Copies of this chain bind each other. A is one copy, B any other.
């Protein structure tokens, strides 16, 4: 299996904040959704306080995205970003059957990477 060295993302030591976005896609507008998802990730990476993002979607349309941020103010600013606001509204209107947002303070973390010696 090909491995992606950017997954899981490398993050600073805690504490920091995470947004867990769990969603169930509708069957609608796969291309429009994919374009929006790529654009939102590109935009998020440019925001102040952004630390990292990881996103997984399965064939059945269930997905989890975790984005990590320095502080709650950065999360709030990203939430209110004009282009992100349009994506959120389109998501409720068209792309998502259901979703859940959880805002968390990350208190501890650990990482494992296989050594290929």
Q: Which residues of A contact B (CB under 8 A)?
A: 1-4, 7-9, 11, 14, 18, 20, 22-27, 54, 56-64, 66, 92, 96-114
Known: A56-B62, A56-B63, A62-B7. A20 touches B22 (CB 8 A): no
Does A3 lie within 8 Å of B97, measured CB to CB? yes
Q: Is the interface of A mostly helix, strand, loop or mixed?
A: strand
Q: How far is the CB of A70 from chain B (nearest CB, A)?
A: 15
Query: For residue A22, which residues in chain B have a CB less than 8 angstroms away from its CB?
Result: 7-8, 54, 66
| 10 intermolecular pairs with C-beta atoms under 8 Å apart | A4-B62, A8-B99, A11-B100, A14-B102, A56-B57, A99-B111, A101-B110, A102-B109, A103-B109, A105-B105
Query: Which of B18, B64, B101, B106 touches A109 (beta carbons < 8 Å)?
Result: B101
